[in-house]
Structure formats: C-alpha cells, structure tokens
Amino acid sequence: MTKADIGIDLGTANVMIYINGKGIVLEEPSVVAIDKRTNDVIAIGKEAKDMIGKTPDYITAIRPIRDGVIKDYSATEKMLNYFIEKVISKKGLGVFFMPRIMVCVPSGLTDTEKRAVDQATRGAGSREVYIIEETLAAAVGAGINIFESIGNMIIDIGGGTTDVAVISLGGIVVYESVKIAGDRFDLDIVKYIKDKFNIVIGDRTAEKLKIEIGRVFEGEENSMRVAGRDIITRFPKSVEITSSDIYNALNESIEQIIYYIKRVMDKTPPELLADISQNGIYITGGGALLRGIQKRIQNNLNVKVIIPEKPTICVAKGTGESLNSLELLEIGKGNK
C-alpha cells in the first residue's frame, strides 16, 4: 500500500485532484448524467458534460454541486468515488489504498453543509477527511506564507462563488462569499444576447464566448459568430458577438464583486489593510483568467493586483499541500 495525501478542489464547475509530489492528476467537470427511469449514473465528468443539451428526455445531466454546496448527495458521492478510483488506478496506488483527503469548501459554509462534504468524501473511500476553506487553500497554492503576522487578501473567483478574505497568522480574519462567479457570468451572457439579439444560446456557447472573446476592461475588440434559436421564428439564427457585448453582459456582476471586495476592506483592521496596500491583492480561480479583471479591480481599489502563474490550480494545490500543516492550521478531522 502506497501512502499519499490527496487534495480535492470540489468545485461547482470542475473537480481537481492534487497529490503531493505529483501535482494535478485529475481535472474534470463536476457533472453527472443520470437515467431518470432507473436513477442509475451513466456518465461522469467530461463524458457527462458533453451530454448537456443533447440527451433524450429520460437522461439528465446535472451538476450535483451548486454555489459551492452539495445539492445532490448521492450523485456527489458517486462522482467522488469515480474520480478517486480513477486516480488510484491510474497512479498504481493499489486497491486497498485509503488516502488522507483534504477537501476545500467556500468560506461561510454551515456545519451541516460541511458535514455533507465530509460524508460524501468518506463514502468515496477516504480513511481521514479534513476540510479547509477555499481562500486559505488558494493562498497556500499561490505561494503565500499564510502563517506570518501579515495581512494578505485573496479573491477566489470560482464556478459557483467568489470568496474574498483577509488572512493572517494561518486564519481568516474577514471574509465575504457571494454567489456571483463563472456560472453567473455564463447566465449573464445568455440573458444579454437574448435581450439584444432575440436569440437563445446555450450555457456552453456562453462559456465559449466568455473564454475566447470576453473582457471586463477596455482592451482589444474581438468577435465571434454564434448560432442560437430565434425567439420569434423559433428557427436557427446566427449573430456576431463582440468583446464589448461580453463587457456589457458581465458589467453588473463584476461591479457586485468589487462591492464585496470593498466591504471586506472596510471591515479589515487598519494594520492588516496597510499590509495589503503594500503587498497587493491576489486573484485565483477561473475568474482570474477574465481579460481585464486585474486592471478593473486595480483601478477601482487603487491597490496592486497579482494573478499567480496558474490561478486555476491554486485551490487544489493549496488543498493538498495544507495536509503538511494541519497543526499550524488547526484543522480538525471532519465529522464522523
């Protein structure tokens, strides 16, 4: 039996698994396809995501985790079990391997919500389960020494939530968690295009627009032609979408995120705020890849904004590495 520690970023959009010494060993969508006639799981991860919008009525592709919270416990447990077994098999860790697992959750989850994460992880085959808040994990993954008596601000923009926290001495001093993030951005784009062009596009098309031509600050203007359903004729119709369209679609949500960042800063003790002013603010998660997000926040707050080299893996990396610092983090085992 091989001993190894596993960190799991149990995200609304994607699940990432990190093994100490090996790095990110799995990244797949948090999607489960279920046959409603039998309630059997027929696909998980990428295969299930590819089914979204393309299945017969009796098959549904769901995201069992919404806004950072488990909404379907059974599907989440099966998804975790599948991913963990896939990693163990791929890495040759042995059928009797029972890893220690650290799972990250959004700041502010209730004990009941944390217990659901713990139980789902244990049900998937872990011998020991630990829970860490996303902003702490993101800071560790970004290379910040969170145990110093220095204030650091982290903004983690994931799929379901944006978590904003000030960290010092290994703990969270102030935080806000808002359900405005990647999934909300996609919905914003769908609504904007429907209102402006009278066509309906799918979430996956919206996500593609966000990634390929989206921006949230002044910058290069790009465009992309997309197809959807005309809401009047009900027939297929294609339109040209520009970067300015995506800017307008996301503007309100970005302003809301900035509002919550300011709220955290307002509640931060002056000494820690001085540290942040000097050291800057770190952005992690998929939202850090939005073109212009760094300049947008920097201009609004007049504080340097830093994006780590690989912002999308900071949470998973930090989750795994935090197992080496359990005593300093004062993280206990999950509820049994």
Kindly state which CATH superfamily the domain 5-29+67-136+316-329 is placed in: ATPase, nucleotide binding domain (3.30.420.40)
Please state which architecture CATH assigns to domain 182-249: Alpha-Beta Complex (3.90)
pTM for this one?
Answer: 0.87
Return the beta strands (E) in 243-304 as ranges: 281-284
Flag whether pLDDT at 94 surpasses 70.
no
Amino acid identity of residue 251, one-letter, is N
In the chain, domain spans: 5-29+67-136+316-329, 145-180+250-311, 182-249
Compute CA distances 119 → 41, 70, 80, 149, 249, whole Å: 19, 11, 11, 34, 38
Quick one: DSSP state of residue 215?
A: B
Cα(76)–Cα(55) distance, rounded to whole angstroms? 21
Task: Please write the tens of the pLDDT for every residue from 272-311.
Answer: 999 999 999 999 999 999 999 999 999 999 999 999 999 9
Helix (H, G, I), strand (E, B) or coil at 158: coil
Task: Please write the tens of the pLDDT for every residue from 28-51.
Answer: 999 999 999 998 999 999 999 888
- What sign has the CA pseudo-torsion 238, 160, 248, 211? negative
| Residue 330 confidence class, pLDDT cut points 50, 70, 90 | low
CATH topology agreement for domains 5-29+67-136+316-329 and 182-249: no
Contact 164, 107 (CB under 8 A): no
| Residue 97 confidence class, pLDDT cut points 50, 70, 90 | low
Return the CATH class of domain 145-180+250-311: alpha beta
Contact 20, 114 (CB under 8 A): no
